[in-house]
Amino acid sequence: MRYDDNGITTTMLAMLIVAVIVIAGVSYFVLKPGGDGNEKIQLIQAGSSTVLPLAVAWAEEFNGADISVSGGGSSHGINALLLGEADLGDASRLMKGSDYTAVGGDATLVNADGTASGPAPGGVQPEKWVVAYDVLAVVVNNQNTWSGELNYSHLRYIFAYNDSQPAAVYWDEVPGLTGAPHEKIEIYAPDEASGTYDYFFETIIPKWGKDTQAMKPRLESTDGVYHPSADDNVILTAIKSNENAIGFFGFAYLIENPGDVKPVKLSKTGTIYVEPSFANVATYPMARPLHIYTNGIPDDSTKRGQAIKDYLQFILSDEGQAILPGIGFVKLDLVDASLLESQRAKLN
């Protein structure tokens, strides 16, 4: 339902959902009347811009709480959870030691699998939930005829650099791109706070995040080629209007904007190139899990805990998972059915 500037009548309020969108923070407040005179628990869900459209859809369909949903990036979501400022932290990457450090915690408590062996300073013990799979799409302008297939070596020439391999300035400086023009490359892609940023560079740069990291992301250079944004729609619009642009974002934004930009087929080594799609999720080289972090495993000892538990059970239910394909994500059981069942069991 849409509301005009004249306000909201009692009748309109009774018809389920009020969504207020705050553009600067990309935040959504989903309010549903309880119907029985009892005030509903209010939950805060924050984080990944990739997870955001999913979180909004889940919050609108879930009737057990009023949920405020906001973006801001995976780092923001995890940080908000660890500080006790959010009930659910959305992340398109695993939690890292630096997330604990950011809130004054001990980085060594964070394990390689994104779990934690001890609480953050405020007492929050993060629990990881895999809620969906996403396909990361590398995209170019529709007029681009020379980079329909890219391997990881190509991507490193475009998106990364080191002392022995400077980043390509012009498209025809990328080895192996037939017909590439002598035109400057322009990159429009997520910023450093985004889990999508981390995932992309972790995938293409050997030893990413270690002292022996092989290359640096182009954003760290001073050439001004990498234009970062926390808003995937800004990225898509920029690539759509620039013939020499390239970038990346979650597959959902490609689904939501069919024909606006061109997806690139990817290959790790340059042998078999795979197009991003639901059908190809098992063989596409940039498919990743999406996460929600909570403070421990929620239970029914408090009303808030019960609401969080019910919400997670809904997300992992057949009904909650059925929402995924319609907005560009992959259901968990298509990739790891045993993980889905084990997470359901933890909540029972």
Task: Give pLDDT tens digits for 232-242.
Answer: 999 999 999 99
What tens digit of pLDDT does each residue of 76-118 get? 999 999 999 999 999 999 999 999 999 999 999 999 999 999 9
Residues 199, 288 contacting (CB under 8 angstroms): yes
Mean pLDDT for the stretch of residues 218-232: 94
* The pLDDT of residue 28 is above 90: no
Structure confidence at residue 32 (pLDDT)? 53
What tens digit of pLDDT does each residue of 283-310 get? 999 998 999 999 999 999 999 999 999 9
Residues 77, 68 contacting (CB under 8 angstroms): no
Give the fold, CATH level 3, of 10-132+291-346: D-Maltodextrin-Binding Protein; domain 2 (3.40.190)
Residues 137, 250 contacting (CB under 8 angstroms): yes
Mean pLDDT for the stretch of residues 128-149: 97
What class does CATH assign to 135-287?
alpha beta
Structure confidence at residue 255 (pLDDT)? 87
* The pLDDT of residue 148 is above 80: yes
For the record, the structure tokens of 237 come out as 């619009």
| CA angle at 107 for the pair 294 and 297, rounded to the nearest 5° | 20
Q: Where are the domains of the chain?
A: 10-132+291-346, 135-287
More confident residue, 173 or 19: 173
Structure confidence at residue 279 (pLDDT)? 83
How far apart CA 70 and CA 3 sit, in angstroms, is 21
Beta-bridged to residue 229, according to DSSP, are 190
* The pLDDT of residue 19 is above 70: no
* The pLDDT of residue 160 is above 80: yes
What tens digit of pLDDT does each residue of 39-81 get? 889 999 999 988 999 999 999 999 999 999 999 999 999 999 9
Structure confidence at residue 334 (pLDDT)? 87
As to burial, measured by CB atoms within 10 angstroms (0-12 exposed, 13-18 middle, 19+ buried), residue 313 is middle
* The pLDDT of residue 20 is above 60: no
More confident residue, 2 or 297: 297
10-132+291-346 and 135-287 share one CATH topology? Answer: yes
How far apart CA 9 and CA 329 sit, in angstroms, is 36
How far apart CA 146 and CA 150 sit, in angstroms, is 10
Among 190-199, 217-226, 289-298, the minimum mean pLDDT is found in 190-199
Confidence of residue 195 (pLDDT cuts 50, 70, 90): confident
